[in-house]
Amino acid sequence: MKKYVYMVEFDWSVEDGCDIETELFSTYDKALERYNQLVNEEKNNEDGWVHDVFKPNGTILKGYSVEEYGNKEKQEDLYWSCVMDEWYEYHSIIQLKKLEVK
């Protein structure tokens, strides 16, 4: 029987710093909770640059791209990103991936 772990990866970069933070979880639900927490923190952190990308009506400022895909109900891999179009140096990418333990 195959065994799985669920990885949540947060890849971020700004002009003066960058990091890739990785966490492993034993269940999809635990990983999903952390994934949702990170996405919400990025969108709502008034001290971060991502917060400023979203207008009050929910639309995105010109010059930025926001993508999100995956199906939570089917427990698929998930992806969310916010990237400055002209300068990739500013990016925030959050992923949830199902990985087989070998």
- Write a three-state SS string for 34-56: HHHHHHHHHHHCCCCCHHHHECC
Please answer whether residues 72 and 78 qualify as being in contact, where contact means their C-beta atoms are separated by less than 8 angstroms: yes
Inform me whether the pLDDT recorded for 56 exceeds 90. Answer: no
- Pick 54 or 10 by higher pLDDT: 10
pTM over 0.75: yes
* pLDDT given at position 41: 94
* pLDDT given at position 65: 95
* pLDDT given at position 97: 97
Inform me whether the pLDDT recorded for 48 exceeds 90. Answer: no
